[in-house]
Structure 1
């Protein structure tokens, strides 16, 4: 293999490695079944190579969906299709649900200052936080804090 690589002339292109990856993938696909490939690659794939783990580790950085798709080396449309396939909902709906769950956890942890929570979760004002609570949690911010203080469970 080393001898073959020494004799190769590399193309000076920023996308050359991507075309080589596709070429290798096609060669593998022509020789092995999906099950064989899964067995072979499962031992060398890292957590970031798993789509669900990748999304969970990268969505929180405030990147746009386009940037997250780019990090995953996918087109935005392919990323959104794959997202729906893996999570069963649109990326936007999933991200809103994550935000609502984190908000409830913050309130359960004792954070009840609306202004601080609005800033922490990226709302422009407390009015945005109140509207978010009503739409996504199904109750006002005050009702939510009372429910949590009373120890009642919140489903999102």
Structure 2
């Protein structure tokens, strides 16, 4: 005999306790997907370590500021990627509903290899906040995903599969140029060479020192560096260090003298001259 359910229009997860008691149930909300709702005026701080954060915006508007001062607004029907090992501050401009995805790297090898195949098309852009429109296939994906989230279906295996499905949608329904632009930080993280460079350049005072960190001769290192970063190691290191020092001067609690010592300048005046040369102005920081 067939049994009929009441309230056919309402979909509710059955046996919730079995799901929540599973060892693979996600409870910390710093991995996998989660659904968020905030009212206008809410301020959020985001500190990413070894994780990327994707924001699927469905309703409202957020203003996002990176640690280097980049400011962008993400609106309804847009998707945003925030880079790992970065800090961001967010403010809800209009009442917002959005889905978050925290992830470290693609869990499925096919996804990893597919992303690495896009490396040849990278442009080495410097955006800490990357935004694309949500196309119809991605919109359908989010609607289905939210059904799981609203019913507390937080199985880690399911979330890994949904992460893979999202990456498939990015590669299948967005152009290569769009996919590369959006996923470039993820692509870089899959490359050990790029990761070693980005984790060590601030502690190195020369190209040869950074090449040694990568266990390469300076000649081999320079050739490979140009392939990935589209610039010479020396010029890239100068530019990146300048941006980092600028961020420290503008955002840290250290004064000019302390920052000069931290980065090996002989005096605050030396740091001021360096800053003026790169940014055509002097740093606005207390001298004492």
Could you tell me the TM-score, scaled by structure 2's length?
0.31
Q: Does 2:248 correspond to 1:106? A: yes
**Alpha-carbon separation, structure 1, partners of 2:234 and 2:190:** 21
Residue 65 of structure 2 corresponds to none
Residue 229 of structure 2 corresponds to 87
1:122 is paired with a residue whose SS is coil
Residue 69 of structure 1 corresponds to 211
Shift of 1:73: 2.7
Shift of 1:51: 1.5
**Alpha-carbon separation, structure 2, partners of 1:106 and 1:77:** 32
Q: Does 2:118 correspond to 1:118? A: no
Counterpart contact for 1:48–1:54, Cα < 8 Å: no
**Alpha-carbon separation, structure 2, partners of 1:131 and 1:52:** 31
**Alpha-carbon separation, structure 1, partners of 2:267 and 2:212:** 31
Tell me the number of residue pairs that the alignment of Structure 1 and Structure 2 aligns.
Answer: 101
- The structure with higher relative contact order (CA 8 Å, sep 6+) is 2
Shift of 1:134: 1.1
Q: 1:112 to 1:68 in 2, by over 3 A?
A: closer
Residue 57 of structure 1 corresponds to 199
Between 86-95 and 103-112, report the one with greater CA deviation: 103-112
Q: Does 2:273 correspond to 1:131? A: yes
The structure that is strand-richer by fraction is 2
**Alpha-carbon separation, structure 2, partners of 1:121 and 1:88:** 26
1:124 is paired with a residue whose SS is coil
Q: 1:108 to 1:119 in 2, by over 3 A?
A: same
**Alpha-carbon separation, structure 1, partners of 2:236 and 2:196:** 14
Q: Deviation string for 1:24-43 (max 9, x for gaps)?
A: xxxxxxxxxxxxxx96xx8x
**Alpha-carbon separation, structure 2, partners of 1:63 and 1:134:** 21
Gaps of 5+ in 1: 1-37, 146-156
Shift of 1:76: 0.7
**Alpha-carbon separation, structure 1, partners of 2:269 and 2:281:** 14
Q: 1:112 to 1:69 in 2, by over 3 A?
A: closer
Q: 1:112 to 1:138 in 2, by over 3 A?
A: farther
